[in-house]
């Protein structure tokens, strides 16, 4: 089957042309946030300039994530020319201001999860974390039974693969049922700047939950994702492989194999050593030993309220 590229809408960063009309201040009639009733703040971070809120939309539980987006180089001169400045203080050569930017240069990336489950709420609630070391045996006896009954729905993944959602956002697709995948911008990236570039490659096959299921049989799939994912990102965004961090999460939140492609410049959540496994390391480990990921212990962080942590405690593993 032929591979396909969506070079149109996906070629980013976006320009502001699509945004012009938004300055009029009109409200989208089906806005899920205008009816949002705040229950509590789950987490906030002044440095990352984001806030995670739990609340209700028309009686349904919802999580809303607000995040100030990075200042873009391509709109800097417009920002400086067309904003209003209010002096806060002046002293010798120093002065500070509040700058009021035009609305289209002052957007807040907003993510809505509705209806949100208890698990979504917990995912974003600030919690103490513990490092768990899971042997291959622990995976089969503790983790696998737990994730089979408890994990997040992967309906959104199936929707992408079946073109029922986000079809216009697909940047590249290799439709091969065994080695194929779909590459598209991650939820977390607004595609307006390359600083925080974040795409995910979602595999077509549905029988691989995570890193733990991988064997040398999957090497053609993994090398295909690496090569075509990197080539596409180089072509579409001008970002070379040497500027990319390409990795799996273990544990992932969603148990359908996917690979994260992030800008090396961006400290993406979950890119630390306790959760991220570089695709290139995974390929080499499988080349050396087909059952590497079935046998070896893998460490990962679990939050205090994670049911899996309780299972590890009950099994006397913590
Ligand atoms: P993960 O390692 O399973 O979980 O990665 P994490 O969210 O704890 O990192 C799943 C990735 O898919 C994350 O980077 C999410 O931001 C992204 N993601 C999640 N959802 C529900 C969507 C979605 O609906 N669309 C897209 N494009 N990305 C999503």
DSSP 35-102: TEEEEEEEEEETTTTEEEEEEEETTEEEEEEEEEPPPPGGGHHHHHHH-EEEEEEEETTEEEEEEE--
Which atom, in ligand 1's list, is nearest to the CA of 251? 2
**Tokens representing 84?**
């209003």
- The DSSP element (H or E) to which 279 belongs, if any, is helix 279-288
Ligand 1 atom 15: residue of nearest CA: 187
Q: Among 50, 154, 253, 279, which is best to mutate for testing ligand 1, by the most ligand atoms less than 8 A from CB?
A: 253
What's the rounded mean pLDDT across residues 52-71?
94
Model confidence band, residue 286 (pLDDT cutoffs 50, 70, 90):
very high
Tell me the CA–centroid distance for residue 7 and ligand 1, in Å: 22
Is the CB of residue 121 below 6 angstroms from any atom belonging to ligand 1?
Answer: no
Ligand 1 atom 29: residue of nearest CA: 187
Percent of the chain exceeding pLDDT 90 equals 80
Contacts of 201 (CB under 8 A, 6+ apart): 181, 182, 183, 225, 229, 258, 259, 261
Contacts of 306 (CB under 8 A, 6+ apart): 122
Tell me the CA–centroid distance for residue 71 and ligand 1, in Å: 24
Tell me the CA–centroid distance for residue 265 and ligand 1, in Å: 20
Tell me, what's the pLDDT at 251? 97
Ligand 1 atom 24: residue of nearest CA: 156
Alpha-carbon Rg for the chain, nearest whole angstrom, is: 22
Model confidence band, residue 7 (pLDDT cutoffs 50, 70, 90):
very low
Average pLDDT, the chain: 91
Question: In 3-state terms, what secondary structure has residue 104?
Answer: helix
Is the CB of residue 249 below 6 angstroms from any atom belonging to ligand 1?
Answer: yes
Model confidence band, residue 260 (pLDDT cutoffs 50, 70, 90):
very high
Is the CB of residue 187 below 6 angstroms from any atom belonging to ligand 1?
Answer: yes
Residue 165 DSSP one-character state: S
Q: Give which of 169, 32, 185, 17 is closest to 104, Cα–Cα.
A: 17
Q: Give which of 131, 145, 148, 125 is closest to 311, Cα–Cα.
A: 145
Tell me, what's the pLDDT at 150? 85
Query: Where do we find the tokens 């070379």?
Result: 240
> Does the pLDDT at position 191 exceed 80?
yes
Q: Among 67, 122, 187, which is best to mutate for testing ligand 1, by the most ligand atoms less than 8 A from CB?
A: 187
Ligand 1 atom 18: residue of nearest CA: 187
What's the rounded mean pLDDT across residues 43-53?
92
Model confidence band, residue 32 (pLDDT cutoffs 50, 70, 90):
confident
Q: Torsion over CA of 122, 123, 129 and 132, rounded to 10 degrees?
A: 110
User: Higher confidence at residue 151 or residue 235?
Assistant: 235
What's the rounded mean pLDDT across residues 262-284?
96
Is the CB of residue 130 below 6 angstroms from any atom belonging to ligand 1?
Answer: no
Tell me the CA–centroid distance for residue 205 and ligand 1, in Å: 17
Which atom, in ligand 1's list, is nearest to the CA of 260? 14
Tell me, what's the pLDDT at 308? 95
Is the CB of residue 154 below 6 angstroms from any atom belonging to ligand 1?
Answer: no
Q: Per-residue pLDDT tens for 80-112?
A: 999 999 999 999 999 999 999 999 999 999 999
Model confidence band, residue 147 (pLDDT cutoffs 50, 70, 90):
very high
Is the CB of residue 167 below 6 angstroms from any atom belonging to ligand 1?
Answer: no
Residues marked as catalytic: 258
User: Higher confidence at residue 318 or residue 60?
Assistant: 60
Is the CB of residue 152 below 6 angstroms from any atom belonging to ligand 1?
Answer: no
């Amino acid at each position: 089957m032929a591979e396909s590229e969506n070079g149109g809408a996906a070629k980013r960063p976006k320009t502001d042309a699509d945004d012009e009309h938004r300055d009029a201040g009109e409200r989208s009639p089906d806005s899920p946030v205008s009816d949002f009733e705040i229950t509590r703040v789950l987490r906030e971070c002044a440095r990352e300039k984001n806030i995670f809120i739990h609340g209700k939309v028309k009686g349904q539980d919802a999580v809303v994530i607000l995040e100030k987006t990075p200042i873009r180089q391509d709109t800097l001169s417009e920002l400086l020319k067309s904003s209003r400045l209010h002096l806060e203080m002046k002293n010798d050569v120093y002065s500070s201001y509040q700058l009021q930017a035009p609305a289209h240069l002052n957007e807040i990336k907003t993510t809505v999860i509705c209806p949100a489950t208890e698990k979504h709420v917990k995912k974003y609630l600030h919690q103490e974390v513990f490092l768990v070391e899971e042997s291959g045996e622990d995976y089969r006896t503790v983790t696998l039974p737990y994730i089979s009954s408890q994990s997040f729905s992967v309906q959104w993944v199936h929707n992408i693969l079946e073109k029922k959602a986000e079809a216009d956002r697909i940047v590249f697709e290799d439709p091969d049922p065994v080695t194929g995948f779909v590459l598209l911008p991650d939820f977390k990236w607004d595609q307006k700047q390359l600083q925080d570039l974040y795409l995910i490659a979602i595999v077509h096959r549905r029988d691989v939950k995570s890193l733990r299921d991988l064997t040398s049989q999957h090497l053609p799939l993994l090398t295909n994702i690496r090569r075509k994912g990197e080539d596409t990102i180089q072509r579409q965004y001008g970002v070379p492989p040497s500027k990319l961090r390409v990795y799996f999460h273990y544990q992932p939140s969603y148990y359908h194999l996917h690979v994260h492609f992030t800008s090396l410049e961006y400290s993406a959540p979950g890119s630390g050593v306790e959760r991220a496994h570089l695709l290139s390391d995974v390929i080499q480990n499988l080349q050396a030993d087909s059952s590497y990921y079935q046998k070896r212990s893998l460490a990962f962080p679990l939050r205090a309220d994670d049911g899996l942590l309780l299972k590890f405690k009950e099994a006397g593993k913590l």
